Amino acid sequence: DAGVTQSPTHLIKTRGQHVTLRCSPISGHKSVSWYQQVLGQGPQFIFQYYEKEERGRGNFPDRFSARQFPNYSSELNVNALLLGDSALYLCASSPSGIVSQPQHFGDGTRLSIL
């Protein structure tokens, strides 16, 4: 079975632009969570979606938004990019998203802001 897939793998943008990152969960998983990982730090929770509804968000500005589609894939959108948005963006899926279930991570999208 395919794991969590993310696209693109790498992306270079300039300040002020916007970006869309995509994620396909493991088949049968209905929950997708997005994390930001800055070099040398642990993943930081951005959003979780379950059954197309946002369950909650972490401490990120409104420039960050996401949505989940009927096939449970998800997009993360970031507007007005800042240099500080440079990071590895990880998508993780699980059957229902509750914290007692392991998170299955994709390979991530490496976003660089110039």
The residues that touch other proteins, with contacts defined as CB under 8 A, are 31, 33, 35, 40-45, 48, 50, 55-56, 58, 90, 97-100, 102-108
Place of tokens 């869309």: 20
Q: Which two tokens stand for residue 64?
A: 């960050």
CB of 36 to other proteins, least distance (A): 11
Cis status, amide bond into 8, omega within 30 of 0: yes
The smaller minimum CB distance to other proteins, of residues 31 and 78, is found at: 31
The smaller minimum CB distance to other proteins, of residues 40 and 70, is found at: 40
CB of 8 to other proteins, least distance (A): 15
CB of 27 to other proteins, least distance (A): 18
Query: What are residue 35's DSSP bridge partners?
Result: 45, 90
Q: How many CB atoms lie within 10 A of CB 46?
A: 22
Q: Which two tokens stand for residue 32?
A: 């997708």
CB of 87 to other proteins, least distance (A): 13
The smaller minimum CB distance to other proteins, of residues 59 and 71, is found at: 59
The smaller minimum CB distance to other proteins, of residues 44 and 73, is found at: 44
CA distances from 14 to 7, 19, 36, 62, 114 (A): 19, 10, 18, 19, 5
